[in-house]
Amino acid sequence: MLKIAFTFGKLEVTDNLDLIFNGTPLHPQSRKLNDLAKVLMDPTITDGRSGDTILYKMYREAILDKHYDLFTKNILRFDITIMAPIVLGEELNKTLGHSHPEAAAGLSYPEIYQVLYGNACFLLQKLEKGKLIEFKVIEADAGDAVVIPPNYGHVSVNRGDMPLILANLVSGNFTPIYGDYLSKCGAAYYMLKGNRMVPNPSYGSPPLPIFSKERYHITNDLYTDFISDPRSYAFLNDPTKLGKATFFDNR
């Protein structure tokens, strides 16, 4: 069992990706191989695994009781996702992918992710009038935090050989939109072993990936930083408050 301690509490993760938070088992939503078949580079690849093989588990509102009112008042949700270190053919394990609904005129809800354990890659893509205009790749390791800016869809990839544990903070009014990823067989690029990027033919000739090292500044951890200063996260409900000062480049 994997055990990790943070300022906000202790996480214990079993080999089955089950999560125990401060001694309390949490109930997940699971994504299985069958659920992701439509977004895989090769939807027929199983490597001998059952379609019921769990690729990752999502724990919604992983919040301590004493902080529940604070998250509710600020209309924010803190989730934890645990991804298995699975490779399907050549493709690394990933989330299904989603875009965000509009929060303000012309701006969708932003979102913050922090890598709590393991090695991640975030694949961000931006469309205008149905056409892909930008594809961004951000690698992140334990402790790193990344903002998904307004008007970007995204996929999270486990690029390591260990479980990947992600935390995310997002508006409580937010509902993910999966349609573009399901209809186009995933993101504009597939991430393979060796960090190779292969274009998805459903997008025609997508723009070349931009490799970025943008980070969101974290003092302790995402959970602790939020409860210490909730007002600084108002931009998650009102993206007009999100300024470039929020980011720094880790190059």
Q: Is residue 203 one of the residues assigned to a domain? A: yes
pLDDT tens column, 125-154: 999 988 999 999 999 999 999 999 999 999
At residue 129, the pLDDT reads 85
Quick one: pLDDT at residue 89? 93
The domain spanning residue 211 has which CATH number?
2.60.120.10
Residue 14 lies in a domain: no
| pLDDT beyond 80 at 250 | no
Residues 211-223: tens digit of each pLDDT = 999 999 999 999 9
The mean pLDDT of 169-179, rounded to a whole number, is 95
Q: What is the mean pLDDT of the chain?
A: 94
pLDDT in tens, 1-37: 999 999 999 999 999 999 999 999 999 999 999 999 9
Residue 45: per-residue pLDDT? 86
Predicted confidence (pLDDT) at residue 79 exceeds the cutoff of 70? yes
Q: What is the pLDDT of residue 251?
A: 46
Q: What angle do CA 111, 137, 132 make, to 5 degrees?
A: 85
| Structural domain contains residue 19 | no
Euclidean distance between CA atoms 190 and 129, whole angstroms: 22
pLDDT of residue 249: 56
C-alpha span between 79 and 62 (Å, rounded):
5
Q: Does some domain include residue 170? A: yes
Q: How many helices (H) and strands (E) does the chain have?
A: 4, 22
Joined together, the tokens standing for residue 39 give 């977004």
Mean pLDDT of 56-66: 97
| End-to-end Cα separation, the chain, in angstroms | 34
For residues 111-136, give the mean pLDDT: 96
Amino acid 130: pLDDT: 85
**Does residue 17 fall inside a structural domain?**
no
Task: Give burial (CB, 10 Å; 0-12/13-18/19+) of 134.
Answer: middle
Strand 196-199 and strand 102-104: the pairing is unpaired
Higher pLDDT pick, 110 / 243: 110
- Rounded to 10 degrees, the C-alpha dihedral 226/145/113/139 comes to 180
Residue 247, pLDDT score: 60
d(CA 160, CA 87): 10
What per-residue confidence (pLDDT) applies to 198? 97
Domain assignment present for residue 22? The answer is no
Question: Is residue 51 included in any domain, yes or no?
Answer: yes
Q: What is the domain extent for residue 86?
A: 30-249
Contact 82, 29 (CB under 8 A): no
159 part of a folded domain = yes
Mean pLDDT of 229-237: 96
Q: Rounded CA gap, 135 and 126, in Å?
A: 7
What is the total count of domains within the chain?
1
